[in-house]
Chains A and B, each alone.
Chain A
């Protein structure tokens, strides 16, 4: 069965601090996809990134970076030099190769204080 665990329920940082959001996943499939979504206070889920199981390269997009490690079944998300606008709930999600549905973690609420 597929499962996503986001152990950090809430994180609070001060602006300009770096912060890492953890995501651990479980799947028996060799082909799968991992995602991160952002849900700001307005409520709409915003897609951030998708990785497939065959591509373990880390990715950087501006202040955001993602570390995918199959050996530890983790797909962690780091925000460098956090800003108040980064305050949101962040969800990690998984879909297995033979299924279209996303399985989400419970989310991590990030608060960036000025």
Chain B
């Protein structure tokens, strides 16, 4: 079956611009996660959704970052006033309600010039 999909695969933007990154989870998965991976590092947790609500947003670095999942399926990560330090690969993962295993998408590589 189809895995987690993320669009775009690459995004180049200028400092100060607004960007949206999209994640489409595995069908039937109610839990959705966002992580950020900088070069040479492991992924770092940003936010977790169970259904439509953000159950844990403790990893969001500041108020420029926001994520939504209005219908409990697709999620959008929104970054306002981008900074060069936001450049990274943004990973999305999903899992079933009862499961602990997270399945990852291919990521969106964000470059802020």
Which residues of A are at the interface with B, using a C-beta cutoff of 8 A?
4, 33, 35, 37, 42-47, 50, 52, 91, 93, 95, 99-107
Contacts and interface: CB of A to CB of B under 8 A. Distances in A.
A99 B35 CA distance: 15
Contact of A44 (B45, B55, B100, B105): B105
Size bin of chain B's contact surface: 20 to 34
B56 A99 contact: yes
A16 B55 CA distance: 45
Interface of B: 31, 33, 35, 40-45, 48, 50, 55-56, 58-59, 89, 91, 93, 100-107
A48 B81 CA distance: 37
A101 B103 contact: no
Contacts of B107: 43-44
Contact of B104 (A44, A99, A107): A44
For the complex, would chain A's binding face be called helix, strand, loop or mixed by DSSP majority?
strand
A100 B97 CA distance: 11
Contact of A104 (B40, B43, B58): B43
Contacts of B55: 100
B42 A91 contact: yes
Contacts of A91: 42-43
Contacts of A107: 41-42
Contacts of B44: 104
A68 B44 CA distance: 24
Contacts of A106: 40-42
Contacts of A44: 104-107
A43 B31 contact: no
Contact of B100 (A43, A45, A95, A105): A95
